[in-house]
Chain A
Amino acid sequence: MNDLSVQFHGVSKRYPHFSLENIHLELPTGSIMGFIGANGAGKSTTIRILMGLVHQDAGTVQVLGHAMPANQAAAKLDIGFVSEDMRLYGQATLAWHMDFLRPIYPRWDQSYAESLARRFDLKPQQKIKGLSHGQRVKAALLLALARRPRLLVLDEPTTGLDPVARVEVLSELMAALADEERTILFSSHNTLDVEQISDQITFIDRGRIIDSDDKEAFLDRWRRLRLLLPPDVVLPRLPGVVDVGGSGRLPVLTTNRFEPAMVSVCNDLGATVQAVDTMTLEEIFVANVHSRREQLTA
């Protein structure tokens, strides 16, 4: 059994106004990866390539051991996919969808589907077109989860959900991971959710992966150092500084290669470290993108 559920190697896709370049991605089995990027950064395109819905121009894609898009039918038997722009058949009921999918997926769990319907507060006999947006998202998730897939691919699963529904959905996603052979890839704007439940995090911006690491490593590496510089002291040169903010005597350094030793280095150089702030994933992402875009324009 492959250690990696998903593997992208040098994947590129070119459109007239946008291109994905040299995408490398590795998703270990049993883990959950959060995929963060601005609108139009390429999250959806990457996910569609993963699902075989879009063919890459270059590079190889392996999903659950199958080459995509060549073997997409076999791969999709083990994948549950929900995307923001996906719609179910409005004329039909949720129950119809469940009955439609059941004979297709060998691991379909009807009792799990029914208990999810109860927990998500969905009435199977209701027509899809009569559901609110949040209910439709939950319905689509139910249908994806009930087939007990080895890989869940979710494009913005919590967007548009009210806070209560979001917690329900996150709980179900985490519960699905109780099986160690199950993997989840989800893209989201909601950095709080990503920060909380992801094992791995990948940042994408303007068609390129700008960072990919284990979540704790991210949170460990990035810090804001608030310094107090006496008038005659020069700003210390620290590794990985992507931004210098604050004022002349009270600079705030943002670094992506923090080590506790930095504090003593600063103090030794005469710059008092007033605080070492951790950064939220959102702050890290924004800092990362800004510094990268500045690099490109410089």
Chain B
Amino acid sequence: MNYSMVRSLILKDWYFQRRAILLALAGGVLSLGVVALGGQAGFTIGLILLVTIMGLISAITVMGNTLGERENQTLAFTMSLPISHLEYTTSKILGNLLIFVPFWLTLVAGCMALIVVAPAIHGLFAFTVIMAVEILVGTCLMIAVALVTESKGWAISAMVTANLAINVVGYLVAHIPGIRNGMWGTAIQWRPAATISLLVEFALIALLLGGAFFIQSRKTDFI
């Protein structure tokens, strides 16, 4: 794997999406500011803002740099560079994740901080961690589908699925006995059920991204 080429490709994609990325970053800072204003209202609004921006930026960058190559017919130019499907796939996955993850980490850190600080919602710890990783799974789904299908239709379906999944999974997880008991309590607890849930989620991420690599390697028509 040619890491220097992967780096060039990622920087190239970021360059073309610099405005969206910068706006999203500004928005992220703004939402943190709103949270800092304090109070429950500040936190709720700030959080919603952050989640919205996260959703938007991942959709924009994934659609833009993955689907955009075929739409704008630049795929031939990119693939005529000294790379194989390996560098191409890596650059798209890594490039999109690297944009998304900072926002995601901020969200996770913010939620964790809040939960740890307020005894009344200590019980939400496990649930929140699981849901945060679930959002990451959703984004990986979107990246993988866009990359493998190169179709706007499928990519949008993946996006919708990921959004719906948050609700569905949230409901399901909240009803797992090991999680439900104690969710509304005042103690931070971590039961085996939580570990299993996390493992399932990470396995899904590995499946999605590994699957994307595998399918890309089997493609016989790159153009």
Contact = CB atoms under 8 A, between A and B. Distances in A.
A140 B221 CA distance: 23
A88 B76 CA distance: 9
B74 A76 contact: no
Nearest to B220: A55
A73 interface: yes
Nearest to B8: A104
Given A87-B72, A104-B8, A76 B80 contact: yes
B63 to A, nearest CB: 16
Contacts of A53: 76, 79-80, 221-223
A79 B77 CA distance: 12
Contacts of A100: 8, 12
Nearest to A100: B12
Interface string B186-223: 00000000000000000000000000000000001111
Interface stretch (A19-27, A89-97, A182-190): A89-97
A104 B87 CA distance: 14
Contact of A76 (B8, B73, B81, B220): B81
Nearest to A97: B77
B82 A76 contact: yes
Contacts of B222: 52-54
A86 B82 contact: no
Interface centre among B16, B74, B87, B222 (most CB of A within 10 A): B222
A55 B77 contact: no
B83 interface: yes
A163 interface: no
A294 interface: no
A89 B15 CA distance: 11
Contacts of A135: none
Interface string B1-15: 010010010001001
Given A85-B76, A86-B76, A104 B81 contact: yes
Interface string A45-59: 000100111110100
Contacts of B82: 73-77, 104-105
A55 B221 contact: yes
Contact of B76 (A74, A79, A83): A83
A20 to B, nearest CB: 13
Instruction: Using C-beta atoms within 8 Å of the partner chain, give the interface range for chain A.
Output: 20 to 34
A90 B71 CA distance: 12
A88 B77 CA distance: 7
A81 interface: yes
Contacts of A90: 72
A59 to B, nearest CB: 13
A48 B76 CA distance: 9
Contacts of B223: 48, 53-54
A103 interface: yes
B74 A87 contact: yes
Nearest to A56: B220
B106 interface: no
A25 B117 CA distance: 72
A9 B84 CA distance: 22
B74 A73 contact: no
A-B residue pairs, 8 tightest by C-beta:
A86-B76, A55-B220, A87-B73, A81-B80, A77-B82, A76-B82, A53-B223, A73-B84
9 contacts: A52-B84, A57-B220, A73-B82, A76-B82, A81-B80, A86-B76, A86-B80, A92-B15, A92-B16
